[in-house]
Chain A
Amino acid sequence: MVSEREFDALFRNLYGELYVFARRFITHEADCEDIVSDAFEDVWRNLSCLTSATVRSFLYRDVRNKCIDFLRRQTVRRQYADLMASVTQGYDSADGLTELHERERIVSDVLESLPDYTRQIFTACYVDRKQYVQVAEELTISPNTVKKYISQALKLIVGQRQKH
């Protein structure tokens, strides 16, 4: 059972990270805010069946599903919805979520160890959502070079992951 006071604490602790998570699927900020709010509303209506241990995975799963449904409803984004569904499958279960949080730590460590330039390229591509060609133009290098930087970093991440 989650009490109303605990609910407020949960909201304050988790809203931010869930919003950032939703933004990986959907670019429009207001849509992400609505989805995260709706997910907390689902928690609110199910306080009696959740515990502080289960609520986190409930929220991740709910936000993920709502994001994918949202994408699916836009016909042009259906394939993208399927891709995201496949890539984020892990968030669908409590065990998966724990594993992904672990891997987040590993990825974070690798990214910290990279030269600024590589991190800059990663950010431009995946956080600012620019196409590789666009990033290449902005940095006056070739698209292949952009991909090579990403590839090097990615190989490091994969390597670290496999070690664990």
Chain B
Amino acid sequence: MTEEAIMLMEPGAMVNRGQTDCLAHEPDLRETCEDIFLAQLVLAQKQEQVPNVEAKLTEFHDRVDKHRRMRPIVWTAIAMAAATLAAVFFLRPKEQPAEAQPTAVVFAADNSQQQVTVETVSGTPVPVKVVRKQDKADATVVIGQTELQIEEQLALSVPQGESLQLLLPDGTHVYLHPGSRIVYPNVFTGSSRQVKLTGEAYFCVAHDPQHPFLVSTPQGTICDYGTEFNVSARTDGLTEVVLVEGSVGVTPTDGKEQMLVPGQKCYMEESQCTVEEANTDPYISWRDGYFHFEETTLREILEELGRYYNYNVECPNSYLLNYRMRFIIPRNQDVAYAVMMLNRMGKVKVSLRGNTITVE
């Protein structure tokens, strides 16, 4: 094992993903690597050239603490001829208040009217009833179909603060995250079943090998052959596909199709596809009605919670946002529950005020 540690810690060594993942599962190996790190640190402390700390301290205060810098100017002014004293008195800069701490806004709630809407692609609204059951994490919709043509394209929008489970005409289940929009026909005809997605959704596709299921996103298309997968087409310029079960082909716009096997994640960005191993548990958990964060930064967790409950999130101590945690809770509860469970982790203090979650 010392051999492995020596290999991993070699300066300039090209380490691969498998090796770093190994470390997570082998505490003995990790501790041995820590020993090498500590040895480096101890030896460096004896010989490392440290910059002039006094100079750095002065530089620091000049940059950060304008309060102190002002004083020399005032003293010089007062030292001038007495005749100008009155002028100096009035010219004297007002005491600067202590610099207000920048409050980091992690997520902004959408305060406009938030509703699930369905419209035809030409913009005609379609009557929709949202059904919410007490213990269910996701609402479902009943769509008024009487006025529609066969194969009319419908656009369903899920706002922040809502999550929906949608049943497509072929029996496919789509679990839509808050802030998502899906376009689909009220009846599937033709040789393939096509939908368009922005935002994030988990798909359980009804098996039909004769008619491949296609999801098109701004970055590219996912072609499914009867399976379960998650698509995140949220951030500008990046789409992420995680395959849980079955088989999909991912084709970025202007790129080549990349096949995935279960347990793989594909990033589509600018006609490129990058494939990686992924833990599928968090995605399956969403389908089953849970939030599931695995070694996720607090920043990401708070963004998701803010979007799901449509609450503002603020965190003045932004260094906390880099903290990673494992956090799993049911989604069919209210925001107070999520806040309580976050507090139970014992790492941060979370409070609710109005429609804002504050973390410190």
Inter-subunit contact B44/A130 (CB<8 Å): no
B59 cross-chain contacts in A, Cβ below 8 A: 37
B94 adjacent to chain A (CB < 8 Å): no
> Which of B50-58, B194-202, B225-233, B302-310 has 4 or more CB atoms under 8 Å from chain A?
B50-58
B41 adjacent to chain A (CB < 8 Å): yes
A29 cross-chain contacts in B, Cβ below 8 A: 51
Inter-subunit contact A147/B317 (CB<8 Å): no
Inter-subunit contact A79/B20 (CB<8 Å): yes
Question: Which bracket fits the contact residues of B?
Answer: 35 or more
Q: Which residues of B (227-245) have their CB < 8 Å from a CB of A?
A: none
Tell me if B's interface is mostly helix, strand, loop or mixed: helix
In whole angstroms, what is the CA distance A89 to B324 when docked?
Answer: 11
Inter-subunit contact B11/A79 (CB<8 Å): no
Nearest chain B CB to A130 CB, angstrom units: 6
B35 adjacent to chain A (CB < 8 Å): yes
A70 adjacent to chain B (CB < 8 Å): no
In whole angstroms, what is the CA distance A108 to B102 when docked?
Answer: 42
Question: Which bracket fits the contact residues of A?
Answer: 35 or more
Inter-subunit contact B319/A123 (CB<8 Å): no
Tell me if A's interface is mostly helix, strand, loop or mixed: helix
In whole angstroms, what is the CA distance A119 to B47 when docked?
Answer: 13
Q: A20-B50, A111-B39 are in contact. List 18 more A-B contacts (CB 8 A).
A: A16-B53, A19-B50, A21-B41, A24-B41, A37-B59, A46-B101, A49-B360, A79-B16, A80-B15, A86-B33, A87-B23, A88-B37, A126-B40, A127-B44, A131-B11, A154-B32, A154-B35, A157-B35
In whole angstroms, what is the CA distance A42 to B318 when docked?
Answer: 9
B64 adjacent to chain A (CB < 8 Å): yes
Which positions in B face A, CB cutoff 8 Å? 2-3, 5-6, 8-12, 14-17, 19-20, 23-24, 30-45, 47-48, 50-51, 53-54, 56-57, 59-60, 63-65, 99, 101-102, 317-319, 322-323, 360
Inter-subunit contact A126/B56 (CB<8 Å): no
Find the B residue at minimum CB distance from A161: B35
Inter-subunit contact B35/A15 (CB<8 Å): no
B51 cross-chain contacts in A, Cβ below 8 A: 19, 29, 33
With A40-B60, A125-B11 as given contacts, are A49 and B43 in contact (CB-CB < 8 Å)? no
Contact of B60 among A37, A92, A108 (CB under 8 A): A37
Q: Which residues of A (15-44) have their CB < 8 Å from a CB of B?
A: 15-17, 19-21, 23-24, 29, 33, 37, 40-42, 44
Inter-subunit contact A62/B319 (CB<8 Å): yes
A158 adjacent to chain B (CB < 8 Å): yes
Find the B residue at minimum CB distance from A18: B50
Return 29 A-B CB contacts under 8 Å, by A number. A12-B53, A17-B45, A19-B50, A20-B44, A21-B41, A29-B51, A33-B56, A37-B59, A37-B60, A44-B65, A45-B101, A49-B317, A79-B17, A82-B17, A83-B20, A86-B23, A87-B30, A87-B37, A100-B34, A107-B38, A126-B36, A131-B12, A147-B3, A150-B6, A151-B6, A154-B6, A154-B39, A158-B2, A161-B35
A147 cross-chain contacts in B, Cβ below 8 A: 3, 6
B3 cross-chain contacts in A, Cβ below 8 A: 147, 151
In whole angstroms, what is the CA distance A61 to B360 when docked?
Answer: 16
Name the 8 nearest CB pairs between A and B, nearest first. Answer: A129-B11, A126-B40, A82-B20, A86-B23, A16-B50, A107-B38, A65-B322, A87-B33
In whole angstroms, what is the CA distance A62 to B322 when docked?
Answer: 9
Per-residue B-contact encoding for A112-145, CB less than 8 Å = 1, 0 else: 0000000100110111011110000000000000
Inter-subunit contact A83/B35 (CB<8 Å): no
B60 cross-chain contacts in A, Cβ below 8 A: 11, 37, 40-41
Inter-subunit contact B57/A24 (CB<8 Å): no
